[in-house]
Amino acid sequence: MKTGIIGLGKMGGALLRGMLKAGAVVPENVWVYDHHHENVQALQEEYPGVHEAPTEAAAADAVEVLILAVKPNGILPLISSLSERGAELPLLISIAAAISLDDMEACASDGTRIVRAMPNTPCMVLAGVIAYSAGTGVTDEDEEAARRLLSGCGSVYKVQESQMNAVSAISGCGPAYMFTVLDALADAGVAMGLPRKTALELAVGTMLGSARMQEQTGKHPMALRDEVTSPGGTTIAALNALDECGFRNAWIQAVKRAVRRAEEMEEH
């Protein structure tokens, strides 16, 4: 399937590299456009055969599916400019946060098919989480094409668009939360005398293993936590310290704050 992308920033680059790495697309069937030529050049060095489109319109004309990976404030002008040419547009997949399907469809020519998706940066290592909602003109075949592309990078979930801000706050922002936890655990290890490299590797391995354990057992996280927590032991002492610092509430408030910010962005 001929696939294009406009925007090779952190998220767009991560998503496309994940698709290429997974074999969901082959370089010869990929067209990219980015204002910064060096971003395209870096991708072509990794994946020879990728085409650089000279313009945004050229990228749209060359492909069957076009991923829009520009900043949120650029997505509506981009869709408008592509639509004004009068040519039928390919299936559009927008990964812009806080820009609704209604707003995008209002800028598009009649019949334009749009999928709104929210990937995260682990797509680059094929361990992403991607949620999507389909616009009014999207057919079953379109949706299957979008799922096939996105699933090369990780787990794909269809959600109601009204849930997209919550998705963004958990899985979209989530890698930043996890990296912060890893850094804090590494700092704690260093404070207790461990070499930083060792402390970070211990933290990473523990996070990976714990997530895999929950995924494979299907047990409630608290049930798994209790299996580690002996009466009067070190784990319960550590958990009590987290509670004293408001750890659980901090996570909840972080997600709420991210949702609130997304809602503010939608209003503007």
Binding residues: 6-11, 69-72
- Amino acid identity of residue 56, one-letter, is E
SS3 28: helix
From CA 53, how far away is CA 62, in angstroms rounded? Answer: 9
Return the closest-CA partner of residue 65 out of 115, 20, 102: 115
From CA 10, how far away is CA 21, in angstroms rounded? Answer: 16
From CA 220, how far away is CA 237, in angstroms rounded? Answer: 21
160's tokens: 């109601």
Q: Hey, which bits of the chain come out as E strands?
A: 3-6, 30-33, 51-52, 65-68, 91-94, 114-118, 128-134, 154-158
Beta-bridge partner residues of 155: 129
From CA 102, how far away is CA 54, in angstroms rounded? Answer: 29
Q: Which residues define the annotated binding site for NADP(+)? A: 6-11, 69-72
Beta-bridge partner residues of 94: 68, 116
